[in-house]
Chains A and B, each alone.
Chain A
Amino acid sequence: EAGVAQSPRYKIIEKRQSVAFWCNPISGHATLYWYQQILGQGPKLLIQFQNNGVVDDSQLPKDRFSAERLKGVDSTLKIQPAKLEDSAVYLCASSLGKGTAGSPLHFGNGTRLTVT
């Protein structure tokens, strides 16, 4: 089975610019997640979608971050305007079910964002 696809792999922008990341989950996976992984830290959940709907966005900085999942498949995560502290790897993951131990998360290889 094809894995979770993300693009771009790397992005360098200046602070106050905007940036967008794209994710294509594994076919048939209803649940999609965006995680932020700062260097030396574990991934932190930003937003979780179940099909088209948002399940959890409690840790998404909504003043600058937005995400959408069109037609319950692909998703984009946008940052506008970017801050220096947004430098991180942005990981997309998908799962068949609701992401508990019985329905593991499959991660993409991430987009490494550097904000200068």
Chain B
Amino acid sequence: QVQLVQSGAEVKKPGASVKVSCKASGYTFTDYAVHWVRQAPGQGLEWMGWINTGKGDTKYSQKFQGRVTFTRDTSANTAYMDVTSLRSEDTAIYYCALNLPGDSFWGQGTLVTVSS
């Protein structure tokens, strides 16, 4: 069955960087893009962008352009999201998600807390 398993919670200081991983299984990793979505505490969902896991090209929401980088390791069936220059407003749960024909699948989420 399709699964997306994300890395564990992180606590970072302002100005630091964080890298979140999303390991995929149950389908052909390079056939479908992986999306990244974040959710601040008590807030709604916010699309950050996607990575074409086959070619490696990316698209970022304008809000995150320049501070977020998506990469992938096809040998490990894993997608990664790097966020730099963290600030308190980046405290959120970060999800990876996948749209397959007929359904979508989400990781369990990774809580990133930015605090001094």
State yes or no: do A and B come from one complex: no
Instruction: Write the residues of chain A forming the contact surface with B, with a CB cutoff of 8 angstroms.
Output: none
